[in-house]
Structure formats: C-alpha cells, structure tokens
Amino acid sequence: MNVAVSSQQIKRANRLEATKLNNRMVTDYWEDLFRAKDEGRFVCWYEGVAINPILQAAGVAWCHGEAMSALLAARKEEGPAQQAAEEWGYDRELCSYARTHIGCGVLTQRSTPDTVNDLPKDSEVRKGLASRVPAPDMIISAYPFCSTGQQWDDMLYRQFGKRVPIFNISLPWIWGNKPSAKYMSGPEYREAVAFLVKQLRECIAFIESVTGKAFDHDRLREIMGYIRHAAEIKVEAMRLCKARPSPASFFEWTNSIAPVNFLPGGPEIVNYFEIKKAEIQDRINKGIGSAPTEKYRLFWDGIMNWNKIGWLADKFAGYDACIVAGRYTHMGFWHETEVIDLSDPLDGMAQNYLTCPISISAPQVVEKILEHCEYYELDGLILHGARTCRAFSYPQFLIAEAVGKKLGMPVAMFEGDMVDESFYKDELVNSRVEAMLEAIEARRTRLM
Amino acid sequence: MDEALQQMLTAARQPNVYARGWKVRSGRKVVGSFPMHFPAEVIHAAGATPVVLQEDDEPITVGHAGMYPFFCGYTRSVVDQAAKGDFDYLDAIMFGDHCVQILSAADVIRHRIPDKHVGFYQLIPSLRDRWSLENSMQALRRLIDGIEETLGVTITEDDLRASIRAFNENRQLIRHLYGLRRTGKLRLRASQMQAIIKSSMVMDKAEHNALLRHITEALGDEAEISGRGLPVYLSGHLCQAAKPAVLDMIESCGTIVVDDDLYHGYRYISMDMEAQGDPVKAIASWYLNRNFAAPCPTRLDPGIDWDGWLLNAVKASGAQGMIVLMAKFCEPHYFYYPRIRKTFERNDVPHLLIETEHEMLGLENIRTKVETFVEVARRRSAPQRSAPHAMA
C-alpha cells in the first residue's frame, strides 16, 4: 500500500490575503506601462537582473522580459506571443521566456513597414495582452551567467532593425578559481563587483544619452531605500516560515517576486511586505498553515512553472505537503540587503546581482541550498528541471546528490518549463512526487 | 600526403588516445579546454600541450547522471567522458567561454573530477564596448597567472610570441589548403578537411605543422581538377565536429563541399594573431576581432550580421547552395537561424537545414533531404557550374 499518498484528496492551499494586494499592484504596474508611450515616457526593455531602480530614477518606463512572459503565462495569454515567435522561425527548444518576449516584439512592430511581411498572417495573434507592450526606445541587457539572455537581447535589437539603441552589461560568472573564493568574498568576487559597478555607471550615462536628461542619483538612493526596506521585511517574513505548520509556501513567495523584481520602488512595496509579514505572524499565532495539513516540508529548486502556480499549490496541499522555500524565491531578488549602502547604492546593487542563484556557480548554490534545507527543517526536495532554462537546470543533479549525501533528503526530479506548458507532464510528476513522499516515510520509520 | 593525412585522421578519430600517448611520449603536461574562443597559445607557451576536448562517438551512459537530455550533444558527451574517467590524463582544464551550456558542463565536470584543477577565465562576450579590450587583457593575465600557478611554470612574453608564431603557421597552412579547395585545385573530402582541423585541436603543434608542410609540399602546382558536382557551403556546428558519416553522405549525394564556417573548419583557423609587440594585447585583439573573419552568434557584436556575412561567403566560394548543420539544443544557433533562412530566401540562394544529435541520426532520412536539395539547387543554378568530384 502506498503509505504516503493513501489518504490523498483534493485540497485547496490556504492563500494569503496579501496576495490580492500584490495582484492589484502588478496589474496597476502593467497598465501604467501600457500607457507610457501615450504619456510621452521613454520605454526600456531589459532582461536579467533588476536594474529597474535605475530606470525608475531616470524617469523611464520599463518592461522586464521575463516578467512579461511570466505574466502572460500566469494569465494564460502566452499563446499569441509564442505562436508569433514560432511562426517567425524560433525553435520551441529555445528559452521560452525569450521566445515569448521576442514574440511580443514581433507583435509590437506593426508600425515598421519593412518587417510587416514577417508578421503572422492570422490577425488573431495580434490581439491580447502581448501586443499591448509598448515598443522600446532603448534595450538594456543585464543577464547573469546565461548567454541565452544576452543573445535574446541581441535578437530583439535586430528584430527592431537596429534602430533601438542597446547597452550590454556583461555580468561575470562567479566561478571561484582559488580556495580563497567564498560566497561574497575573495579577490575574484571583488574584481567582478568593481567591473559591474563600472558598467552600471556607464549604463547610467547611456540612459542619459537617450533621454537627454541628467540622472537623478538622489532619486536612486531614495528608491533603493524603499527596496532595501521592503526586502528586509520580505526576508524576515520568509524566515518566520520556519514555524510548523509553515504559514506561507514557495508559491506565495513566487507571487511576491514582482514587488522586489520589477514593481516601482516606493512606500507601496514596503507596505505590501508589512501586511504580508503581519498576516504570516497572525497565521503562526493561530497555527494556520499554507497546506491545510502539513506532513511534509519541501524545498523547490528551479524556476516556477508560471502557468501552474495555484494549481501546483493545491496539488502539493493535496499531498499534505508544503513547499516552504525555494532557490528562485529565497536566494535572489535583493536577498543580501545588508550590503546596500544608500549613500552609494551601486556597489550593493552589483553584489545582489552577482549573488543571484544563477550568478554563482554550483558549489555555492549547493552550499546555500543546504543552509536553507537545514534552517527550515525540510524533508525533501523538488527539482523542477525547466526544459528551456539550462541556466537554472544544470546544477540539479549536483544538488540532488548533495542533499542526499549530506542531509539524507529524498528528491523528486521532473521536467517542466517556466512559460511553455507543453513540457509539463502531470502523471510523471505525480509518480515522482509520490515516490519521494514514500521515501520520506520510509526514512522516518528508519529513524524512529 | 596519404600517410600524413592518415596520422591526422587517427588523432581526430580518437583524440584522447592520441593525447594520452603524446603525454607519455613527450613527457609534457596536457591541458584540456572547451570551445569556442579559448586562446590555446597560452597553454602552449607554458610548455604544455593544449587539447580542445571533443565530443566522442560513444553513447552517453553515466553522463546521464550529470546532465539533462535537453543539453547539446557536445556538453552531454564531455560530461559523460569525464564521469567515465576518459580525461584522467589531463593535468588541468582551462577555459574562458560564455555559452551557458559549456559553462554548465564545466561546473559538472569540476565536481566529477575533483582532483583536476578546472580554471575559468571568462572572456567578455560583448566585443565592441569601450572596456572590451581592457577587460579581455585582464582575463588573459589572470589566465596566465592561473596556468603558471597550476603547472608550476613561468610564462614569458617571448614564450607567448613563439607559441603565437607556431599557431599562426598552423592556421596559415590550413588556410592554404582551404584556398586550394575553394579554387578547385585540391581534392579533399569534407570529412578529411574536418580531420585536419580536428587533429590540429588535439595534436602537438610542431608535429601537426610538420604533417601539414608534408601535405602542402606534396601538392605542388596542381591544375584545376575537372569534374561534376554541386558546389556547396557548410555552416554551423559551433562546438562539435560533424559526424564524418554525415559529411560523406552529403558529398555522396552529388555535392562538393567547397568552403565552410564550421568550428571544426574555417572558423577555427580564420585569423592569425599579431606576433610582434605585447602578446597579451595581441591575443585580446585576436579574440575581439576574429568575429570579422567568421562571425560567432554567441558574441555580442551589433555591427556584424552572421546572415549577411554567410551570404557573401557562399557567393565568394562559388557554392550554389548552403547546408546548415545545427546541433540540437544549440541556442545561439536557434536564435540566429531564422535570420539566416530569411536572408537566403530573400536572395534566392538554396539552403538546407539539418539538425544533428549526438545519438546517431537517421542517415537515410537526411539523405533524402539532401538529394532533394541538390535537385532544387541544380535547377535554380542552371546553367550549372562545374566543380570537381569528391575524392573517392
């Protein structure tokens, strides 16, 4: 008899009320972006790390490619953009974030006669959210580690006929050639930070050249003040989830990426995390968990499957499991707040960019995941191999080996994708997760 | 010539066997590297033998426990070889590339063979920024320091210049063969030309140069070879060698490969380094400027269009069509291919895409496509130009 899942039933995860506020803020942000051109604002498309505070300080509206793709997937509107990219010629094994965002680029080019012939004939694909993204006035590429990210921006630059100025920020990958190289320390790390800061200063000069306006450094300090404060509260709230049952899950933290990734830095994001933290504390006081019943506490490695956030939250709740933490949510997005010096925030910003979960190589990734698994007292680990995100997926065999050897934790590996639903196979996920829960049960029995 | 070519074919067929044997014979250290832009001259200047680690023909087995199947064949293969102990002869691995899949494979290999030093010295992927040269030179100085420390040697500027000269000679000799093939004065099958370059990636440079000199001296002043066959250009495969069987099949369908931009082809030997002056600056300049000689889709170079460059290269070679060899899961190629296809269609130049995999392909399936391509290209290019038969 299958011990772990013998009593599985359909359950609904307990959603945090704060999520509704987050969703309103996200909607407001996108509506504001869609109006940007009408209001005479410059628009920047960018991918990778969160350079939006710099754009905000410059008075430029911004569209983060991954965020746009994730939004489309979460709202089931990714189809037209992905279809446009596929009809243009992109293979579906190519990064689905890139395909979706470049598809938006194809759809927004209606005003460029020389490229009209490349547009899909079917007018239906020109409708919907994807086609509302305003065309860029500048492109900034700031991709950590992943060469695909930089090439994605290069393709956008070419897609727009090289008429949109582009600025490339090259983020060094933190490898660690010498034993002295540790997380956030050592000569190699400091050299990388210095190089990145230099490029950020050049990037500011680039933005000034496009907008024709002097950059407001005081405004950047102010914005980073809000972001740092919001991120501090976020980390405090995350760490409260050490409680049993965990009051919030990885899925609710994925919903909270927007305020610390691309929403404007201001009192609203601080307020949001204060509300969220208070709700989490209230749940702890009342003994309410994210999963109605919490028998298993898990870690999620890999990018979120944006098409299926709520659906997966309920699936794991049905297994009496709570995914308490994740690499994507807990190891990035202004996670190292203490290094952000508001008198000169670029150094601290660079350090956060260079310690995001794909900027650091496998040994440091593994070390950080082990820390999280121990802190949150987790039982097992989910490895979501996002098929078209090689950058995030590659260290997963090393992670599986490490948590197994060092913590004795069982794992479940399965393929999916961040915004291309066709790579997800539900029955395969069920069998892998159920096998892992069985292994957790067997381990508990052995340890009794 | 036949004997020299045979030695190269042997080394190309089993690069690890050659390098292992060379290490025993020479008593020198051997350092592995990964494609695509690593300046192996620096390893050579340290008195060691540089070897570009190659995809092999063996099925991937234990490597499955290290890499997902949605990585390219090259990266899965090198992880597999590392896990099987095939790289145990190496004294170190040094690399400096940018491709996410190569970096990923290197990180997994570092874990699988912890007794080997795997050093990473990243060359900036953005080639035209104001700081590109300075940053490249810094990376090269760190690489030199890393090699000196790992191998316990000192590398002088004279050492570097001597290695640059040896590599330049190698590139020039191979380019000479390319020139002869392009003008129809030399019969070399595509698989043979590939073996010449692949062996250059793994053999001792002095030994390889001697073999190349033997080949070129044996050629003499050859008259243009007459014969029929559709002249075609090969493009793609940015890291791994094409399977010889695929190349042979392409030519067995009535084509003659007259030129290419393959990594195991013209891309590898496209440009020399400046042998005078500051060698670090010479290597950095070579890295930044070789994109003009053979554009690489993994580099950021806003002024260069691979598609337009290819169109010109095909026309200059006299080819009447292009066959693109695309390694499955190669994202840089996936990104660029639609632009290439559109450019060739706009200019009415026939081209064919063949997607390749590490696991053996359905060769007969591809043959049908190539035969159809040849028919289409011949009809479009009437009156047909003549080109030599492939070497039997």
CB contact under 8 A, A94 and B337: no
| Pair (A169, A230) in one structural domain | no
Q: Contact, B52 vs B238, CB < 8 A?
A: no
With a pLDDT cut of 90, the percent of chain B lying above it is 90
| Pair (A262, A336) in one structural domain | yes
Q: What token pair was written down for B145? A: 């320091």
CB contact under 8 A, A198 and B131: yes
Distance from CA of B338 to the nearest CA of A (A): 5
CB contact under 8 A, A173 and B146: no
d(CA A392, CA A412): 16
pLDDT score at A6: 57
Q: Contact, A386 vs A392, CB < 8 A?
A: yes
pLDDT score at B225: 66
Which amino acid is residue A122, in one-letter code? D
pLDDT score at A3: 55
Structure confidence by residue, pLDDT tens digits, B281-335:
999 999 999 999 999 999 999 999 999 999 999 999 999 999 999 999 999 999 9
> In the predicted model, what is the mean pLDDT of residues B117-131?
96
> In the predicted model, what is the mean pLDDT of residues B163-187?
95
Structure confidence by residue, pLDDT tens digits, A337-349:
999 999 999 999 9
CB contact under 8 A, B70 and A93: yes
> In the predicted model, what is the mean pLDDT of residues B232-248?
97
| A190 inside domain | no
| Pair (A132, A231) in one structural domain | no
Which of B93, B100, B301 to mutate to probe the A interface, most A CBs <10 Å?
Answer: B100
Chain A residues whose beta carbon lies within 8 Å of the beta carbon of residue B126: 150, 168, 170
| A207 inside domain | no
Q: How many CB pairs under 8 A join A and B?
A: 125
pLDDT at B379 over 80: yes
**Strands B255-260 and B117-120: what pairing?**
unpaired
Domain with CATH 3.40.50.11890 in chain B: 2-156
| Pair (A145, A247) in one structural domain | no
pLDDT at A314 over 70: yes
What chain A residue is nearest to B145 in terms of C-alpha separation? A177
Find the Cα–Cα–Cα–Cα dihedral A238, A241, A246, A251, rounded to 10°: 10
Closest partner CB to B338 (pick from A88, A148, A154): A88
Closest partner CB to B302 (pick from A93, A162, A397): A162
pLDDT at B118 over 60: yes
Structure confidence by residue, pLDDT tens digits, A252-275:
999 999 999 999 999 999 999 999
pLDDT score at B158: 98
Write down the pTM of the prediction: 0.94
With a pLDDT cut of 70, the percent of chain B lying above it is 95
Chain B residues whose beta carbon lies within 8 Å of the beta carbon of residue A389: none
User: Could you tell me the pLDDT band of residue B53, with boundaries at 50, 70 and 90?
Assistant: very high
Burial class (CB in 10 A: 0-12, 13-18, 19+), A297: buried
Q: What is chain B's mean pLDDT, rounded?
A: 94
| A249 inside domain | yes
Q: Just give the CATH number of B2-156.
A: 3.40.50.11890
What chain B residue is nearest to A92 in terms of C-alpha separation? B334
Structure confidence by residue, pLDDT tens digits, B174-185:
999 999 999 888
Chain A residues whose beta carbon lies within 8 Å of the beta carbon of residue B121: 177
Instruction: Single out the residue of A62, A248, A196 nearest to residue A137, CA to CA.
Output: A62
| A225 inside domain | yes
Which overall architecture, per CATH, does domain B162-380 show? Answer: 3-Layer(aba) Sandwich (3.40)
Burial class (CB in 10 A: 0-12, 13-18, 19+), B292: middle
Instruction: Report the interhelical angle of A187-211 vs A345-353 (nearest 10°).
Output: 110
Q: What token pair was written down for A341? A: 């010096």
Instruction: Single out the residue of B140, B164, B157, B175 nearest to residue B275, CA to CA.
Output: B164
DSSP reduced 3-state for B221: coil
| Pair (A297, A163) in one structural domain | no
Torsion over CA: A71, A74, A79, A85 (sign): positive
Chain A residues whose beta carbon lies within 8 Å of the beta carbon of residue B70: 93, 385, 387-388, 390, 393, 415
pLDDT at A119 over 70: no
ipTM score of the complex? 0.94
Sheet with A296-301, edge to edge strand ranges? A321-326, A296-301, A380-386, A411-416
d(CA B242, CA B41): 25
User: Could you tell me the pLDDT band of residue A114, with boundaries at 50, 70 and 90?
Assistant: very low
> In the predicted model, what is the mean pLDDT of residues B346-362?
92
pLDDT score at A123: 43
Number of domains in chain A: 2
Q: Contact, A393 vs A414, CB < 8 A?
A: no
> In the predicted model, what is the mean pLDDT of residues B54-66?
95
- Phi, psi (5° rounding) for residue B24? -65, -45
With a pLDDT cut of 70, the percent of chain A lying above it is 94
Distance from CA of B359 to the nearest CA of A (A): 17
| A10 inside domain | no
CB contact under 8 A, A390 and B300: no
| Pair (A225, A357) in one structural domain | yes
User: Could you tell me the pLDDT band of residue B382, with boundaries at 50, 70 and 90?
Assistant: confident
Residues in chain A: 448
pLDDT score at B384: 47
Distance from CA of B337 to the nearest CA of A (A): 8
| A395 inside domain | yes
With a pLDDT cut of 90, the percent of chain A lying above it is 86
pLDDT at A116 over 60: no
Q: What token pair was written down for A367? A: 């070390």
pLDDT at A120 over 60: no
What chain B residue is nearest to A162 in terms of C-alpha separation? B302
Chain A residues whose beta carbon lies within 8 Å of the beta carbon of residue B100: 145-148, 390-391, 394
**Which of these three, A152, A175, A198, is where a domain ends?**
A175
| Pair (A261, A404) in one structural domain | yes
| Pair (A328, A406) in one structural domain | yes
Cis peptide before B383 (omega within 30 of 0): yes
CB contact under 8 A, A172 and B122: yes
Q: What are the C-alpha distances in Å from B214 to residues B175, B219, B241, B273?
A: 15, 9, 24, 24
| Pair (A46, A147) in one structural domain | yes
- Residue scoring higher pLDDT (A80 or A59): A59
d(CA A297, CA A436): 12
- What does the DSSP assignment read for B109-169? HHHH-TTSEEEE-PPPSBTTSTTHHHHHHHHHHHHHHHHHHHHT----HHHHHHHHHHHHH
| A1 inside domain | no
Chain A residues whose beta carbon lies within 8 Å of the beta carbon of residue B133: none
| A8 inside domain | no
Q: What token pair was written down for B188? A: 């070399």
Closest partner CB to A89 (pick from B66, B126, B337): B337
Q: A193-216: buried (b, 16+ CB within 10 Å) or exposed (e) per residue?
A: bebbbebbeebbebbeebbeeebe
Structure confidence by residue, pLDDT tens digits, B219-236:
876 666 656 799 999 999
Domain with CATH 3.40.50.11900 in chain B: 162-380
Q: What is chain A's mean pLDDT, rounded?
A: 93
Query: Which residue carries 């979120």 as its tokens?
Result: A304
d(CA B325, CA B236): 5
Q: A222-250: buried (b, 16+ CB within 10 Å) or exposed (e) per residue?
A: bbbbbbbbbbbbbbebbebbebebbbbbb
pLDDT at A126 over 50: no
Provide the domain limits for residue A118: 33-175
